[in-house]
Amino acid sequence: MAPTSTSQTPFGRVLTAMVTPFTTAGALDLDGAQRLAVHLVDAGNDGLILNGTTGESPTTSDAEKAQLVRAVVEAVGDRAHVVAGAGTNDTRHSVELARAAEQAGAHGLLAVTPYYSKPPQEGLLRHFTAIADATGLPVMLYDIPGRSGVPIGTETIVRLAEHPRIVANKDAKGDLGRASWAIARSRLAWYSGDDMLNLPLLSVGAVGFVSVVGHLVSPELRAMLEAHLAGDVAKATEIHQKLLPVFTGMFRTQGVITAKAALALQGQPAGPLRLPLVELTAEETEQLKRDLAAGGVQL
C-alpha cells in the first residue's frame, strides 16, 4: 500500500529520480536497487522515480523496467511513493508501459513529453490523455523541452489538469514565468525537475522536488523545503547557496554519469552505464570530488 498522500502532495515532497544499478557485467542489479532505494528513503525521500532518464530508461528493456518496479516496491513501497516512468515517443508503447507498471505495483506514473517527433499541442493532449486513461494510477507529467524538443503549453497543461488522474507536473522547463501562470491556472501539484531551481520554484507554488542531487543531499533538500514551508526564507536561502557547488558539479556532464560516479565514491550501489553513456574520465572524477566537497558532501 502506498504511503498517505494528499491532493496537494500526491507523491510526497522530496523524490529522487533514481539511477538503475547494474552489475559489473551490465545486467540489472535488483539487490543493489533495493539497497539503494532503502538508503534513499532512509535519507529523507518520501518518493522515488524509477525508469526515468536518470534510470537509463532508453537502454533498459520493458521486462527490466517491470522487474525494477517490483523489487523497489517490495523494498520500500510501504514507506515511499514508487513512481514509474512510462513515457516514450510512441503512445501505444507508453500505454503498454503504464499498464505493466501498474501490474508491477507502482503507485504512480511519470509521463514525459514525447521526444524527437515534436508533436503539436493537440498531439501532446491526446498522448497524455491516453496514458492517463490506461490505468487507475495517478500521473505526473514531465515537461522538459530541452530534451523533448517541445514544451507543454500552458493551455495544454490547464486542459490536461481536468483529467482526474493527471495530478502533477515535473517542471524542467526553466521558465518561472510560465510556471507561475500554469500553477495558478491548474490544480496540478508542481514539482521542480531542475535542481538549481528547486527553491525558486517553491516561491511560485511548487510543492516539492524530483531531484538528481537527491542521491547525495536528500536531508539538505528536505531541510530547505521545511525551512521554506516554515517561512524561514533566510534559512532556505542559506541551504540553497550551500548546495550550489553540488548542483553545478552534478550537471557538468550528463546527470546519470555523475550520479553513478558519486554513488560509487560513497560505496552505494550503482554499477556501470549502458552505452551511449560512458564513465567519467579521471580528470572529471577529480572535478566532481572537488564540487561535492565544496557543497559539504562526504565521500
Closest CA to 108 of 195, 249, 5, 27: 5
**Known catalytic membership, residue 142:** yes
Burial bucket for residue 78 (CB in 10 Å: 0-12, 13-18, 19+): exposed
Tell me the CB-side half-sphere exposure of residue 129, using CA atoms within 13 A: 14
CB 130 within 8 A of CB 157: no
Give residue for cell 550550489.
244
Report whether 32 contacts 271 (CB < 8 A).
yes
Q: Rg for the chain (alpha carbons), in Å?
A: 18
CA distance 242 to 234: 12
- 54 annotated to bind ligand: yes
Where do runs of H (alpha helix) occur along the chain?
A: 30-42, 62-76, 91-104, 121-134, 145-148, 154-160, 176-185, 198-203, 214-229, 233-242, 244-250, 255-265, 282-294
Taking the C-alpha atoms of residue 66 and residue 87, their distance in angstroms, rounded to an integer, is 14
CA distances to 68, 69, 72, 100 from 60, in Å: 10, 12, 16, 14
Determine which one of 65, 115, 170, 173 is catalytic.
170
Question: Active site includes 65?
Answer: no
List 115, 116, 118, 142, catalytic entry: 142
**Could you say which DSSP state residue 112 is in?**
E
Q: Give the residue carrying C-alpha cell 511560485.
A: 204
> Which residues are known binding-site members for pyruvate?
54, 210
| Residues with catalytic roles | 142, 170
> Which residues are known binding-site members?
54, 210
